[in-house]
């Protein structure tokens, strides 16, 4: 006993700060930087001048909208902290960060409404295999006892929450904490180091009870400790600290520290725990499967485009060392050259000449390098260590510059924004000629638009993307189309008889011919099909036509005046007149939707689905996700546009959905009229 952890891990560490929205992550980072001397004082979030508030969008919305990196020194060791956004709309920012971090500090509070958001974060850490410490923030405002709070939070964590500290109260007010491992009290002082004190006599029984509970949990992974507890032998303190470090590093437990970041309380104990107990870069290398050897391996965590310095790739050096102007290989064998190495403190950068293993630095002007990629000095590169898969977008708008001269400029700006945020999706809709930007919520895309207009000085207009309506027919018809034109010299002549019939839903388009006797020469039959297909791009209701069969049954031609173009025109005329007699009807796309929601909001979700013309297919518990359900439904695409806003409003911001095309359904009445009017066609 006492050797499980193998001692303290030295060297540079990278630590992610994660947690639900408004839990106090940015405040904690400010407190850490002030305590370590990286900044002169701790700035409140409300001041808009914190290290993480370096973008106008973060200040405007009083929330982190991107990962912020800050490197500081504590007791002779270099620590890089990454403040990750708490909103689910910006949560993908954390994925490439967490992959290359050694440990995460999860900031939480005694708020039952935030448990589903906390569970999402804990699950992501589980998926990536990242050890974590939970910092229970705002203990001075908590009404419930800390152990009751842990019982409330435990369902969010797959691993036991191990309480390492309990609050010290006086007249009902939290004045400090008691460290259960050190058996020592700490009296809080605002923005200063706590004062060490003896545990008050009236608190001793509570401390012993909480400490025994901590030791029982540790004993689940240490047989010798279990024997000592059974025999009522006091275990040595160094053995307890060894167990705490070992169980944290293996992910067997999630230690819980307490404090109030706003006042700088509990921050020093957190820093010391990170210094002594956190794993190092070597453990991260093994978790990622980085190859052994002397090669330099670099994992890119974030891409930033700065106004004056150009592109920066914030990266973790997993092995070797990196000098300025070094050449690195991408996984595909291409090469890139480093042009500048920088230590980050928010938007401020300090130039370095070299970066060593474990360092988290910004590398300049790696133009072909993207977030999540793995670089190496090994010739030809190595396989990617991280696979980034952005979640399916849930919100979109069509975007265009207010002035046409800005189209190229806007396209380039969006490409840069997508480099910074790989969860953005951009596509061009051929049917509507729209540029559609998709993301993970209304706020997500609002920030993108603000960056286009602010950072890039491109005024833009946005609107809901067009729904890909289609039209079809209910009846059959036969129609002759004749195109005849004489204007001196060769004329134009094409004559066709076509039969138009409806097809079953999903059949698409079929073209056949039953021409006999050569009344329409074979060389022009293809021209007739071309004309028919051209007409079907916009039918009598103004939308592309689907699920129809057209047969060319008769016609005539002129040996001199007939031509490819004449038969195309004849086919279009026949289609135009014939389709009107076929009882055209509008079709709308209907999607199959899978909504994931906390169970206590399932009834709300089920109630809102019919309000959006949806049909509930069923719901069930989400496998291996206690407290969550999956609701399945079908819903018209036209009703899905802002669905995410309502879903998140009903679930404290955590519900999401996936949608896939299911079928086309007839749309009639007022909604059909509105769709046709919006498309420029009279109903």
User: Domains of the chain by range and CATH?
Assistant: 13-284 (3.40.50.300), 290-376 (2.40.30.10), 395-460 (3.30.70.870), 471-582 (3.30.230.10), 588-682 (3.30.70.240)
pLDDT at 4: 84
Q: Return d(Cα 103, Cα 283) in angstroms, integer.
A: 10
pLDDT at 2: 64
Per-residue pLDDT tens digits for 320-361: 999 999 999 999 999 999 999 999 999 999 999 999 999 999
Per-residue pLDDT tens digits for 514-532: 999 999 999 999 999 999 9
Q: Return d(Cα 606, Cα 23) in angstroms, integer.
A: 29
pLDDT at 143: 81
Contacts of 452 (CB under 8 A, 6+ apart): 399, 410, 413, 414, 417, 458, 460
The average pLDDT across 427-437 equals 87
- Window from 58-67, 81-90, 536-545 with minimum mean pLDDT: 58-67
Per-residue pLDDT tens digits for 602-635: 999 999 999 999 999 999 999 999 999 999 999 9
Q: What is the pTM of this model?
A: 0.92
Detail the DSSP E strand segments found in 524-671.
548-556, 584-598, 615-621, 628-636, 656-667
- Window from 1-10, 95-104, 170-179 with minimum mean pLDDT: 1-10
Q: Which two tokens stand for residue 335?
A: 């090469």
Task: Compute the mean pLDDT over every residue in the chain, rounded to the nearest whole number.
Answer: 94
Instruction: Look at residues 445, 442, 407, 446 and name the one whose alpha carbon lies nearest to residue 428.
Output: 407
Report helix, strand and coil shares of the chain as percent, to nearest 5.
Answer: 30, 30, 35
Share of the chain above pLDDT 90, in %: 86
Detail the DSSP E strand segments found in 274-388.
297-306, 310-319, 321-323, 327-329, 335-337, 341-345, 348-352, 354-356, 360-364, 374-376
Q: Return d(Cα 225, Cα 249) in angstroms, integer.
A: 18
- Window from 45-54, 304-313, 622-631 with minimum mean pLDDT: 45-54
Q: Return d(Cα 171, Cα 459) in angstroms, integer.
A: 57
Helices within 55-187 (DSSP H only): 56-61, 94-100, 115-128, 146-153
């Amino acid at each position: 006993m006492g050797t499980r952890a193998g001692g303290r891990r030295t060297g540079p560490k990278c630590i992610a700060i994660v947690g639900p929205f408004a839990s106090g992550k940015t405040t904690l980072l400010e407190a850490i930087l002030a305590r370590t001397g990286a900044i002169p004082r701790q700035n409140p979030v409300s001041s808009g001048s914190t290290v993480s508030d370096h973008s106008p969008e973060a200040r405007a919305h009083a929330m982190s909208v991107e990962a912020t990196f800050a490197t500081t020194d504590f007791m002779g060791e270099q620590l890089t902290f990454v403040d990750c956004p708490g909103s689910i709309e910006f949560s993908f920012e954390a994925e490439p960060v967490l992959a290359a971090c050694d440990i995460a500090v999860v900031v939480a509070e005694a708020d039952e409404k935030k448990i589903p958001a906390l569970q999402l974060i804990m699950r992501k850490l589980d998926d990536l295999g990242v050890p974590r410490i939970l910092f229970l923030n705002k203990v001075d405002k908590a009404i419930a006892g800390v152990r009751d709070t842990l019982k409330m939070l435990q369902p969010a964590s797959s691993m036991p929450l191990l309480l390492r500290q309990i609050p010290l109260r006086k007249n009902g007010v939290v004045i400090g904490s008691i460290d259960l491992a050190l058996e020592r009290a700490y009296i809080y002082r605002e923005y200063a180091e706590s004062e060490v004190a003896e545990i008050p006599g009236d608190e001793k029984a509570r401390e012993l009870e909480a400490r025994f509970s901590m030791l029982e949990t540790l004993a689940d992974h240490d047989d010798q400790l279990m024997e000592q507890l059974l025999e009522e032998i006091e275990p040595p303190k160094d053995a307890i600290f060894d167990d705490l470090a070992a169980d944290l590093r293996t992910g067997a437990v999630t230690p819980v520290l307490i404090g109030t970041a706003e006042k700088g309380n509990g921050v020093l104990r957190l820093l010391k725990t990170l210094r002594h107990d956190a794993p190092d870069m070597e453990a991260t290398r093994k978790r990622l499967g980085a190859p052994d050897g002397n090669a330099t391996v670099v994992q890119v965590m974030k891409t930033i485009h700065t106004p004056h310095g150009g592109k920066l790739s914030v990266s973790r050096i997993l092995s070797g060392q990196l000098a300025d102007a070094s050449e690195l290989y991408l996984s595909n064998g291409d090469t890139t050259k480093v042009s500048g190495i920088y230590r980050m403190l928010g938007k401020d950068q300090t130039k370095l000449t070299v970066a060593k293993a474990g360092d988290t630095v910004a590398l300049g002007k790696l133009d072909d390098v993207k977030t999540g990629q793995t670089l190496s000095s090994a010739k030809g590169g190595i396989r990617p260590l991280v696979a980034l898969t952005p979640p399916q977008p849930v919100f979109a708008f069509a975007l265009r510059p207010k002035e046409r001269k800005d189209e190229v400029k806007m396209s380039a700006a969006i490409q840069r924004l997508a480099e910074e945020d790989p969860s953005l999706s951009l596509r061009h809709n051929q049917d509507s000629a729209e540029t559609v930007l998709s993301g993970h919520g209304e706020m997500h895309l609002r920030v993108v638009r603000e960056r286009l207009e602010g950072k890039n000085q491109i005024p833009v207009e946005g609107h809901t993307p067009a729904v890909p309506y289609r039209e079809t027919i209910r009846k059959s018809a036969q129609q002759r189309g004749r195109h005849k034109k004489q204007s001196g010299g060769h004329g134009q002549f094409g004559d066709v008889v076509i039969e138009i019939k409806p097809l079953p839903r999903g059949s698409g388009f079929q073209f056949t011919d039953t021409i006999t006797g050569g009344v329409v020469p074979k060389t022009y039959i293809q021209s007739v099909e071309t004309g028919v297909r051209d007409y079907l791009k916009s039918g009598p209701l103004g939308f592309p036509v689907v699920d129809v069969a057209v047969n060319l049954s008769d016609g005539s031609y002129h040996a001199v005046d007939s031509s490819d173009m004449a038969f195309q025109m004849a086919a279009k005329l026949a289609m135009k007149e014939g389709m009107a007699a076929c009882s055209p009807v509008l079709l709308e796309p209907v999607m199959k939707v899978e909504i994931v929601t906390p169970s206590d909001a399932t009834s709300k979700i089920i109630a809102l689905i019919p309000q959006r013309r949806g049909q509930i297919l069923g719901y069930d518990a989400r496998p291996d996700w206690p407290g969550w359900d999956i609701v399945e439904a079908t819903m018209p695409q036209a009703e899905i546009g802002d669905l995410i806003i309502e879903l998140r409003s009903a679930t404290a911001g955590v519900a999401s959905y996936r949608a896939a095309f299911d079928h086309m359904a007839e749309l009639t009445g007022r909604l059909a009229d509105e769709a046709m009017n919006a498309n420029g066609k009279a109903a």
